Amino acid sequence: MTPKNTPSSQPVDMTEQFRQERVARIKAMGGNQPLQDTAKAFTVESTRAGYSYNFSWMGRPIIQYPQDMIALQEIVWEMRPDVIVETGIAHGGSLVFSASLLRLLGGDGFVVGVDIDIRAHNRAAIEAHPMAPHIRMIQGSSVDEAVADQVRKAIAGRSNPLVVLDSNHTHEHVLRELELYSPLVKKGGWLIVFDTVVEVMPSGFYPDRPWGIGDNPMTAVDAFLKTNDRFVVDEAMDAKLAVSMAPRGYLRCVKD
């Protein structure tokens, strides 16, 4: 009979076992080329079809892929931010999504949205939404120093900000956003840059946009990381999502 105090008799921590299995599975997915090729093909064709415009959150169009919404939910639960700063508002679905996550956490957390043009009908709908008490909006260019200063004042006293960049997708614009808003994120926090996927799309995919291959959020992230060692790309996030509008755009803050 095996003594009760031997390792073989200890109960198995099924939660930890599941976590370890998931880590191994995600790592394997990152090296699964057929999966990566299939994911890329889906990304190209679904983007061409306007897939991201199919979804809403609590009644507001969100214009995001569900995979990225789940990723943001996981990050918010892990990080427990007391404020979320988002550049780019559009219909306000992302603001409502973030606000609802903060409400679920409890406390007085809120989201600050910045957009160069907040359409009147969108503003009215956001302000009338049940999540409105957790939302503040600032109109102006996110790369305007005066606007960035408004954001800093709006979140003064907050200790754990999460930053999400999703406005103009040119290299110059995103790099400036990174310079302005990355200092808000503390060690252990996250900074998310959307539409880095532009860099891996087919040539000429965005003929009516000022961004494209060589000039987009991913090139801005790469340039930013060359001079800033506070952040690293979370490669496990890329591997596990497979389909995402933010490959190499999920950045962890690893230094004060």
Q: Report the pLDDT value the prediction gives residue 108, as an integer from 0 to 100.
A: 96
Does a structural domain hold residue 116?
A: yes
Q: Note the pLDDT of residue 139.
A: 98
pLDDT band at 175 (very low <50, low <70, confident <90, very high): very high
Asked if residue 130 is part of any domain, the answer here is: yes
Q: Is the pLDDT of residue 4 over 80?
A: no
Q: Would you say residue 2 lies in a domain? A: no
Residue 2 scores a pLDDT above 70: no
135 within 8 A of 111, measured Cβ to Cβ: yes
Q: Residue 10: its pLDDT value, please?
A: 64
* pLDDT recorded at residue 32: 97
pLDDT at 3 over 60: no
Label residue 158 by pLDDT band (50, 70, 90).
Answer: very high
Contacts 24+ apart (CB under 8 A), 69-73: 69/97, 71/237, 71/241, 71/244, 71/246, 71/250, 72/97, 72/98, 72/101, 72/164, 72/192, 73/101
Residue 4 counted as domain residue: no
Reported as a single tens digit per residue, the pLDDT across 241-250 is 999 999 999 9
At 14 the pLDDT is 86
Q: Is residue 34 part of a domain?
A: yes
Per-residue confidence (pLDDT) for residue 13, from 0 to 100: 84
Mean pLDDT computed over every residue of the chain = 95
Using alpha carbons, list the distances in angstroms from residue 161 to 58, 83, 91.
23, 5, 23
Q: How far is CA 103 from the centre of its chain?
A: 18
Position 246 in a domain: yes
Judge whether residue 202 has pLDDT over 60.
yes
Cα–Cα distance measured from residue 77 to residue 212, given in angstroms and rounded to the nearest whole number: 33
Assign residue 145 the CATH number of its domain.
3.40.50.150
Domain interval for residue 131: 16-253
Which pLDDT score, from 0 to 100, does residue 213 have?
Answer: 97
Give yes or no for residue 147 having a pLDDT over 70.
yes
Label residue 120 by pLDDT band (50, 70, 90). very high
Confirm whether 229 is domain-assigned. yes
Question: What is the domain count for the chain?
Answer: 1
pLDDT in tens, 75-113: 999 999 999 999 999 999 999 999 999 999 999 999 999
Q: Tell me: pLDDT of 1 over 50.
A: no
